[in-house]
Amino acid sequence: MARFTKIEVLTAMQLTGVVPVFYNADLETAKQVVKACYEGGIRAFEFTNRGDFAHEIFGSLNKWAAKECPELILGVGSIVDAPTAALYIQLGANFIVGPLFNAEVAKVCNRRLIPYTPGCGSVSEIGTAQEAGCDLVKIFPAGEVGGPSFVKNIKAPMPWSMIMATGAVEPEEGNLTKWFKAGVTVVGMGSKLFPKDVIANKDWTFISNQCRFAIEVIAKAKE
């Protein structure tokens, strides 16, 4: 399994600007989705801890990806407690993402120099997470906590902030442009990037094209 440094993880996220967020209980489906994203230019992928035995799927997926997608950085999302974070780190997770901030998760990740991106919904929460060593914070749910204007208003007094927006982000030019013009470092995209019918029809090319398009739009928005 590939183990990437903290700097490599954050740099990969910043360069592509998008982290796919995905879970599926079927290992083969997960492999195909990861491969499709990789071929579309994705270099950081968040597998979410959503179902029973999700860690077993992740462990197998990570071993497979190390060989088939050598430059891909796999991390885990939906982590709310320290024991679960530790379990996934042991299985090779290169970054941890959560819907909320948990100081004990921060300690576990800091000890191993693993990036921890917690969900925050206020300026105070973002400040608390940064004090705990979180370089990249996630605003979540991004659409409900204020959208792009919230990001812009955070960056004014706290310009050093590195922000991931997850929720209300779509692989559409107008939407992505607004987020990056507001100052996000990266966005997380789930269901909008992986429509259920696309997964059901195994249309992996569609996913690759969606990723490629999103990366191109983001690069343009950053200019």
Contact in structure between 198 and 206 (CB atoms under 8 Å): yes
pLDDT, averaged across the chain: 97
Q: For residue 1, is pLDDT > 90?
A: no
Q: pLDDT tens digits, residue range 138-196?
A: 999 999 999 999 999 999 999 999 999 999 999 999 999 999 999 999 999 998 999 99
CB-based burial label for 146 (10 Å; 0-12, 13-18, 19+)? middle
Please state, in angstroms and rounded to a whole number, the distance separating the CA atoms of residues 205 and 215: 15
Q: Is 145 helix (H, G, I), strand (E, B) or coil?
A: coil
pLDDT of the residue at 212: 98
DSSP assignment letter at 99: S
Burial 51-75 (b: 16+ CB within 10 A, else e): eeebbebbbebbebbeeebeebbbb
Q: pLDDT tens digits, residue range 2-48?
A: 689 999 999 999 999 999 999 999 999 999 999 999 999 999 999 99
Show the domains of the chain with their CATH numbers: 6-215 (3.20.20.70)
Contact in structure between 73 and 44 (CB atoms under 8 Å): yes
- The pTM assigned to this predicted structure is 0.97
Count of beta carbons in the 10 Å neighbourhood of residue 106: 22
